[in-house]
Amino acid sequence: MKFRSESVDSYYLRSELQVAVHLCKSSTLDFTIARFALNGEFLSMGRPTLPCQLLRNVRFGVNFNKKCRTTAAELLNAQIELLSPYLVFKEDNKSFIHALPVIVKSADQNIKEVLRQQLVRKFFLVDNVSGFKALPIFMNSRFMKASEISVLRYMKSLTILVNVQSGKDHGKIFAPLLIVEYDELTYQDFLDNSDVVIDYKVTFILKDNDIDYNVEVKKKITAIEEI
């Protein structure tokens, strides 16, 4: 499912879709994930249980950068799922969830080009299904699936981009944007069981230069973690 858009603002800033969640410096952003099978079947919905603690313990105002190490073999054996992210928030003592937009970034794109792309609703950690070649059967016009995978796509990086409001709306945010970049592993990577690094970032951006010091954007925290 795609939202056709010439800019991110057309999705965010319509009043019926805009989410301005009031947070204080000690708050954490509460994400939840809906999981779907490859055929679209709904599997579950709940707190993220992704590797590297992705989308967990995201503190308001803290820019974060973490690199997680895994292997080609672990990705090959992972279960493919389509993931739809949501933000959970409270207003007037009532709980709400809001679907979050996802952008798939190419390696050669800058941030302005990325923000002009179409928005999607789902992403995946690993695709170890579609990378098998179809081999022709010479006795007829049919094809058979190759016994070994040729290419595996995986999520190389995940960036959570949060636009923080200032001025009279200080302490509020627009719905976070998830930027995903994919990469590929080859059959040789599986033979070598190559190391794979997943880059995870959380970036808070002030909406304008009218900085209210009740919103403290703290210095970046960097860590390296094994999945």
Residue 75 pLDDT greater than 80, yes or no:
yes
* Sequence-ordered list of residues with C-beta below 8 angstroms from that of 24, at least 6 positions apart, any chain: 60, 171
pLDDT, one tens digit per residue, over 115-138 is: 677 788 999 999 988 877 776 776
**DSSP conformation letters of 144-185:** EEEEEESEEEEEEEEEEEEEE--GGGTTEEPPPEEEEEEEEE
Q: What is the pTM of this model?
A: 0.76
State the average pLDDT over residues 204-223.
49
Token pair of 183, please? 């990469």
CA distance 43 to 198: 25
Helix (H) / strand (E) containing 45: strand 42-46
Residue 195 pLDDT greater than 60, yes or no:
yes
Q: What confidence tier does 10 reach under pLDDT thresholds 50, 70, 90?
A: very low
Among 101, 94, 70, 105, CA closest to 182: 105
pLDDT, one tens digit per residue, over 142-159 is: 766 666 888 899 999 999
How far out from the chain centre does Cα 210 lie?
29
Report domain extents, the chain.
25-132+142-206
